[in-house]
Amino acid sequence: MVNVGKPAGGRSGRPRAGEERLSRQTILDAALRIVDDEGLEAMTMRRLAATLGVNPMSIYHHLPNKAAVFAGLAELVFADLNNTSRAEATTSRKAGREVPVRRSAGRSPGASTPTRSGGDRWQDELMNAAHAYRNALRAHPNLALQVLADAAAVSEVVVLTVEPFYRALDRAGLTPRQIFEAVNTLIDFIHGFSLGEASVRADTFELAPDLLERVSKLQPGQAPTLTRIVEELGADGLHYEFDDGFETGLSLFVAGIGARFGR
Amino acid sequence: MVNVGKPAGGRSGRPRAGEERLSRQTILDAALRIVDDEGLEAMTMRRLAATLGVNPMSIYHHLPNKAAVFAGLAELVFADLNNTSRAEATTSRKAGREVPVRRSAGRSPGASTPTRSGGDRWQDELMNAAHAYRNALRAHPNLALQVLADAAAVSEVVVLTVEPFYRALDRAGLTPRQIFEAVNTLIDFIHGFSLGEASVRADTFELAPDLLERVSKLQPGQAPTLTRIVEELGADGLHYEFDDGFETGLSLFVAGIGARFGR
DNA sequence: ACCTGAACACCGTTCAAGT
DNA sequence: ACCTGAACACCGTTCAAGT
């Protein structure tokens, strides 16, 4: 199965230049590919070396250990997010490697919100930030758990990530303290949501989508309210869509800001 | 360091009866102790066997593999939660093993909410459910990630866990669909929050508590709004307490329910 | 039924050596 | 500077054998 060949076939999308050298970037690209295709635990140092057509120890010359590889992958995810959300900003282009701009499904693809009057601009801005964040985590389901557990390790790039949230809520007129608290809460929600979503996509089940089946297996009287509510909902009502769930959560949150902070 | 002795000293709190036999329960207890004391990755099958004073292979007679051990641990966490939140319910007591009732720090330890009039009962009920859930995850920080990633594997016991949330929101008068959506959102928030909290307690940093230091290292103009807001807050304003953060999140959520669903 | 010993097919990482 | 081979100290798990 595993092709431990000579100097690695040109598997990745990148065109191999005449010079084929090992670098932090090529290593991380290969690692990401393994994680995406075969899951977290398939990503071993030896396997990584094999797909690069290189001795396992060569990797240690560019990254100090396996943890650093995973930290590097987490960083990639956030970097992707930052580059995606301000595709137009006047940034001095980083050397090499353009990050492909992924577009969220539901929204208009062109310029940001076409001239609309109304006063609900900050809500849209906040929604956009939230969707971009979710999409970045969703792009690599197998990596999500690692990213969320390791967000710490990625300092700068993670901090940049919250700027759009701050901007939206600043525009909404909240106080600094309110902004700080609201952003923390919203990001916690997105993390929890994405964790559930990633679990389902990876392989297993999750609470929301499976509730009906599980409740039916309960002994009578173990969870009376839950049982009754689920029955009232019926099979149709329980059909779960992650997209809807995310939207609902966001709108609940926006409504909360309005009510608590008088917006 | 590791004491690989004869038939295992009486390390666990349980009194060793004359008969010292291996069982699913003793294995899981030992595993939980290793995870709590030394972290997830210290919990290897061989290490577990050593602390039980037993051959590694003996374990496989009671649990099919390592994944099953972790699933069992996740189940313990949720079982703990269920037993804690209805300490008084008339349940036929399960054979053996009483789960110690952990009490949350901030609240009055006695009977639930002493006779209070007012119409805000459901809010308190919801808060209590949320705190109990958070506390269960907080009781074993090293396990939190595993639990959240694996909640799926633990079917029945996880389902029971949401009953208090359903009861509170049913009392609030929401429709079944609204309850379903609100509970999903709230639990996602708690998961995300607990993930962050567990990461900090385990070893690393996290966004909220560390924001100030990190923002100061940003290049000028990289995140203008964030930078300005953080400066306005100042060092004092940014001091982060998880307890406050959780309370804020909950109240934002409760306010959202009020505003969206007219309660 | 429950436990064991030896073995298999892996790991991450150190270290001394090659070019 | 960058890469390698051999080795060390581990893993999870299978399998045939013991009582």
DSSP A240-251: --HHHHHHHHHH
Residues of B in contact with A212 (CB under 8 A): none
Is A132 within the bounds of a domain?
Answer: yes
**Average confidence (pLDDT) over B139-149:** 90
Is B164 found in the same domain as B88? yes
Give me Rg for the CA atoms of chain A.
22
pLDDT attached to residue A88: 39
Top mean pLDDT of A75-79, A99-103, B153-157, B167-171 is at: B167-171
Is B4 within the bounds of a domain?
Answer: no
- Tell whether the model's pLDDT for residue B11 goes beyond 70: no
pLDDT attached to residue B217: 85
In the structure, what pLDDT confidence band is assigned to residue B110 with cuts at 50, 70 and 90? very low
pLDDT attached to residue B82: 80
pLDDT more than 90, % of chain B: 53
pLDDT attached to residue A50: 96
Is A217 found in the same domain as A167? no
**Average confidence (pLDDT) over B64-91:** 80
**Average confidence (pLDDT) over B58-81:** 94
A245/B contact by beta carbon, under 8 A:
yes
Which residue ranges have CB below 7 A from strand C? A 44-47, 56-57, 60, 65-67; B 21-22, 54-55, 57-58, 60-62
Nearest-nucleotide field for B45 (CA, C1'): D12
- Tell whether the model's pLDDT for residue B263 goes beyond 70: no
Which single residue is written with the structure tokens 């459910």?
B129
Long-range contacts of A81-85 (CB under 8 A, 24+ apart): A81/A132, A81/A133, A81/A135, A81/A136, A81/A161, A82/A157, A82/A160, A82/A161, A84/A132, A84/A135, A84/A136, A85/A128, A85/A129, A85/A132, A85/A164
Is B167 found in the same domain as B224? no
Is B92 found in the same domain as B31? no
Is B197 found in the same domain as B173? yes
Residues of A in contact with B170 (CB under 8 A): 225, 228-229
Q: How far is CA A178 from CA A72, A97, A184, in A?
A: 32, 38, 10
Give me Rg for the CA atoms of chain B.
22
Is B198 found in the same domain as B88? yes
- Tell whether the model's pLDDT for residue B244 goes beyond 50: yes
- Provide the CATH number for the domain around residue A146: 1.10.357
Is A106 within the bounds of a domain?
Answer: no
pLDDT attached to residue B88: 39
Chain C nucleotides with an atom closer than 7 Å to a protein C-beta: 2-6, 10-16
pLDDT more than 70, % of chain B: 71
A252 neighbors B253 (Cβ within 8 angstroms): yes
Is B250 within the bounds of a domain?
Answer: yes
Is B102 within the bounds of a domain?
Answer: no
Is A252 found in the same domain as A123? yes
Provide the sign of the torsion angle of the four alpha carbons A75, A79, A85, A89, taken in this order. Answer: positive
- Provide the CATH number for the domain around residue A40: 1.10.10.60
Residues of B in contact with A188 (CB under 8 A): 189, 192-193, 195-196, 249
**Average confidence (pLDDT) over B204-229:** 79
Q: Give mean pLDDT in consecutive 10-residue pieces for chain A, a chain of 263 residues.
A: 34 39 94 96 96 96 96 91 61 36 38 48 95 95 88 71 96 94 95 88 55 82 92 77 94 96 79
Is B108 within the bounds of a domain?
Answer: no
Which single residue is written with the structure tokens 């396996």?
A66
| Domain span holding position A51 | 24-59
Is A9 within the bounds of a domain?
Answer: no
Q: How far is CA A5 from CA A35, A38, A39, A42, B73, in A?
A: 20, 19, 22, 18, 42
Burial (CB < 10 A; 0-12, 13-18, 19+), residue A162, is buried
Domain count along chain A: 3
User: Minimal Cα distance from A89: which residue of B?
Assistant: B222
> Which of B185, B224, B245 is nearest residue A184 as measured by Cβ atoms?
B245
Is A71 within the bounds of a domain?
Answer: no
Residue of higher predicted confidence among B262 and A86 = B262
Is A251 found in the same domain as A131? yes
Q: Which amino acid is at A219?
A: Q
> Which of B158, B170, B223 is nearest residue A159 as measured by Cβ atoms?
B223
pLDDT attached to residue B209: 60
Q: What are the helix (H) ranges across chain A?
A: 24-38, 45-52, 56-59, 66-85, 121-138, 141-150, 155-161, 163-171, 176-202, 207-216, 224-238, 242-261
- In 3D, which of B195, B150, B77 has the Cα closest to residue A152? B195
Is B151 found in the same domain as B216? no
Q: Which amino acid is at A107?
A: R
**Distance, Å, B207 CA → C6 C1':** 50
Stretch among A83-87, B180-184, B245-249 having the lowest mean pLDDT:
A83-87
**Average confidence (pLDDT) over B154-170:** 87
Residue of higher predicted confidence among A61 and B114 = A61
Cβ of A188 within 8 Å of Cβ of B233? The answer is no
Residue of higher predicted confidence among A203 and B86 = B86
Is B254 found in the same domain as B148? yes
Is A131 found in the same domain as A92? yes
Q: How far is A71 from A157, CA to CA, in rounded Å? A: 12
End position of a domain, from candidates A32, A59, A86: A59
DSSP one-letter string for A33-56: HHHHHH-GGG--HHHHHHHHTS-H
Is A221 found in the same domain as A147? no
User: Minimal Cα distance from A141: which residue of B?
Assistant: B149
